[in-house]
Amino acid sequence: MIKDITIGQYVPGDSFVHKLDSRVKIMLSMLFIIDLFLIKNFQGYIFILLFTALAIVISKIQLRYIYKGLKPIFVLMLITALFNVFLTKGETILFQLGFLKVYKEGLILALFMVLRLTFLIIGTSLLTLTTSPIELTDGIEKLLNPYRKIGVPAHELAMMMTIALRFIPTLMDETDKIMKAQKARGADFESGNIVQRAKNLIPLLVPLFISSFRRADELAMAMEARCYRGGEGRTRMKVLKLTNKDTVAIISFIILTIIIIFMRF
């Protein structure tokens, strides 16, 4: 399960999506999330499904990466669906299990939540899978630059966000190694109730925190050794420029958003 987390991973490629400007991909990802919350009927998710499937095909990302990204949240989606099914009141009762009543409105809301979470994970995974950490840093910094006039540290925020994303797969791999090492010494992370499992994770968290702080210290020393002093006066090997591909992507997303808004209102 630990290795199934794909957020923060980057898959090199030369597809249409890979070549898009990182600023455009970040802004379109935010617009995609807004579109998900604007949808009010299942017909809207048909357009989202078609658009997402087209993006996956164009990006040439293998479906196993998409599946691995969704796998860790299956339990979360199930819990969310059950809460919505049994706790949402409505007018039409579909069936009753003892004192629990399942309403049509609750079932519809549960399906909406599952679909929204699914497409949310797929959209954010596509962003990180097709954008390198350096491009993400440059894109976030460029988007935050206008706010520097009011004191927002654009470069520092971009660097922190990118490093955090970059270290998610590294920490997950470290967690997996620690779990295997402790299982070899007799540790049990799977048996018992939820409370017992939580207690069993304490020996795992301590070495993980120590490893995280050690990696952070090594990264800080490496940056200082290379005379890193922030974004002032720094040049970039790859200058961000909008191309015709970015224009096509923006227009496509605008059309999708207009369709969703039209179907909502």
pLDDT digits (tens, 9 = 90+) for 143-182: 888 887 887 777 778 777 777 777 777 777 787 788 888 7
Where do the structural domains in the chain lie, given as residue ranges?
Answer: 1-131+240-265, 153-234
pLDDT grade for 6, boundaries at 50, 70 and 90: low
Indicate the pLDDT class of residue 58, thresholds 50, 70 and 90.
Answer: very high
Q: Enumerate helices (H) and strands (E) in the chain, giving the number of each.
A: 10, 2
Tokens of 71: 């796998």
φ, ψ (nearest 5 deg) of residue 258: -60, -40
Overall pTM > 0.85: no
In this prediction, residue 255 carries a pLDDT of: 92
Instruction: Please report which confidence band the pLDDT of residue 265 belongs to, taking 50, 70 and 90 as the band edges.
Output: confident
Mean pLDDT for the stretch of residues 13-24: 89
Burial of 134 (C-beta count, 10 Å sphere; 0-12/13-18/19+): middle
- Amino acid in the structure at residue 103: Y
